[in-house]
């Protein structure tokens, strides 16, 4: 096995041609607004990566999916981070469809066959808010919902075909409200995209502001979730968290892997130093893959989510240690002659900004490991 060989072979298996397309673009072009990597991802079948084959998708499991995201991140951090948000929404639909008699399979089939991209309107961008909390307000009508709200930042804002948003809707089986996921078509009257992301890092992920102003969403694009918000997480919510943490971590691991790959092929760096970088990043990858191997039907529970969070924070620490060492070893001339090394060094630390943060999860995670229930804050 050579460095990143398994990842690139997996990418070639599920999304043939994408690695070559990404490698053919200038790196800076992939990391700025208008990123052509997102269109290449669509063209190579990326939207259907997690959709079961019987519904027109590639049917990738968790292990294959994180290898795909690591391979993409090694070529383009922005493309990997942006497409993670699609997979996060898609994985939730796949899990929901397994025990549902509803229309979710029709949505999955349409997304896979037509190459549609989902942007995530969940609450991960709101400081101090649980990412399970509804992000938008909804008013029920006879044939659907009228939705209003703002999501910022929202990755894939300019390339999305559908926006997924969490809302509260009246229960059908009694009084009260329940959580629901609304899929809002990007061409809907009242949906607008405006600039938000001002950082140069990950500018190609299209993380802008999406405003939804009294947008009508038909009932067939509203998916109801059984567990009320703020109570014990159900299987769908746990699955969403597990998939998000695995895929976003793999994406940043890929971005760091791009730095390590440059060091690996630099003969001026002592072999012992190159080996240190490789050992650290492959150990981190192994921890993530260990969790991904456990993602099978019926195994999405709080224990697996806790293991996923532990792996994510361990990878986060490994990236923080190895990145400055890789930059130093690559040397000043490499740093000064190309923006890419400094750019990647800036990008990889953004993993710490994705929810749930280690600071907020410290008490819930330690409580869980001491015998309590796991909550996400």
Distance of CA 60 to the CA centre of its chain: 15
Whether the model clears a pTM of 0.85, i.e. scores above it, the answer is yes
Are 233 and 180 in contact, with CB atoms under 8 Å apart? Answer: no
Q: What is the per-residue DSSP string for 338-374?
A: -HHHHHHHHHHGGGGGSSSPHHHHHHHHHHHHTTS--
Per-residue pLDDT of the chain in tens (377 residues, 90 and over written 9)? 799 999 999 999 999 999 999 999 999 999 999 999 999 999 999 999 999 999 999 999 999 999 999 999 999 999 999 999 999 989 888 877 776 666 778 888 889 999 999 998 876 545 445 555 677 888 988 889 999 999 999 999 999 999 998 888 888 777 878 778 889 999 999 999 999 999 999 999 999 999 999 999 998 888 887 655 444 456 677 888 899 999 999 999 999 999 999 999 999 999 999 999 999 999 999 999 999 999 976 567 899 999 999 999 999 999 999 999 999 999 765 554 468 888 999 999 999 999 899 999 999 999 999 999 898 87
Query: At 13, which helix (H) or strand (E)?
Result: helix 5-14
Are 158 and 207 in contact, with CB atoms under 8 Å apart? Answer: no
What is residue 128's predicted lDDT score, i.e. its pLDDT? 47
What is residue 125's predicted lDDT score, i.e. its pLDDT? 47
What is residue 134's predicted lDDT score, i.e. its pLDDT? 74
The residues near 41 (Cβ < 8 Å, ≥ 6 apart) are: 15, 18, 47, 72, 79, 83
What is residue 316's predicted lDDT score, i.e. its pLDDT? 98
Q: Can you give the three-state secondary structure of 263-303, one letter per residue?
A: HHCCCCCCHHHHHHHHHHHHHHHHHHHHHHCCCCCCCCCHH
Whose CA is closest to 354, among 245, 198, 258, 229?
245
Are 289 and 352 in contact, with CB atoms under 8 Å apart? Answer: no
Residues 235, 253, 268, CA angle at the centre, nearest 5°?
A: 170
């Amino acid at each position: 096995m050579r460095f990143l060989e398994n990842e690139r072979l997996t990418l070639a298996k599920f999304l043939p041609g994408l690695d070559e397309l990404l490698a053919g673009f200038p790196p800076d072009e992939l990391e700025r607004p208008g990123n052509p990597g997102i269109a290449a991802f669509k063209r190579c079948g990326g939207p259907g990566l997690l959709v079961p084959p019987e519904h027109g998708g590639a049917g990738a499991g968790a292990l294959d999916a994180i290898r795909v995201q690591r391979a993409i991140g090694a070529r383009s951090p922005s493309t990997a981070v942006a497409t993670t948000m699609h997979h996060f929404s898609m994985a939730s639909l796949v899990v929901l469809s397994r025990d549902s008699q509803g229309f979710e399979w029709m949505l999955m089939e349409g997304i896979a066959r037509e190459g549609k991209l989902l942007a995530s309107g969940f609450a991960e961008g709101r400081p101090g808010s649980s990412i399970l909390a509804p992000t938008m307000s909804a008013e029920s009508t006879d044939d659907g919902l009228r939705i209003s709200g703002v999501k910022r930042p929202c990755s894939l804002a300019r390339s999305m075909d559908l926006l997924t948003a969490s809302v509260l809707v009246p229960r059908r089986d009694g009084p009260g409200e329940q959580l629901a996921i609304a899929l809002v078509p990007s061409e809907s009257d009242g949906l607008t995209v405006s600039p938000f992301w001002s950082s140069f890092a990950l500018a190609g992920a299209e993380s802008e502001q999406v405003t939804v102003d009294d947008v009508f969403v038909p009932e067939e694009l509203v998916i109801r979730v059984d567990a009320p918000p703020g109570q014990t997480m159900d299987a769908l919510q746990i699955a969403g968290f597990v998939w998000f943490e695995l895929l976003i971590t793999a994406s940043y691991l890929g971005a760091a892997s791009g730095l390590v790959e440059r060091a690996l092929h630099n003969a001026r760096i002592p072999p012992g130093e190159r080996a240190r970088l490789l050992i650290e990043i492959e150990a981190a990858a192994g921890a993530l893959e260990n969790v991904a191997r456990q993602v099978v039907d019926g195994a999405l529970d709080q224990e697996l989510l806790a293991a996923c969070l532990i792996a994510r924070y361990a990878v986060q620490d490994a990236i923080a240690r190895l990145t400055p060492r890789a930059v130093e070893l690559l040397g000043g001339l490499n740093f000064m002659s190309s923006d890419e090394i400094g750019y990647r060094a800036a990008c990889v630390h953004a993993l710490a900004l994705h929810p749930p943060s280690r600071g907020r999860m410290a008490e819930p995670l330690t409580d869980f490991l001491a015998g309590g229930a796991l909550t996400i804050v």
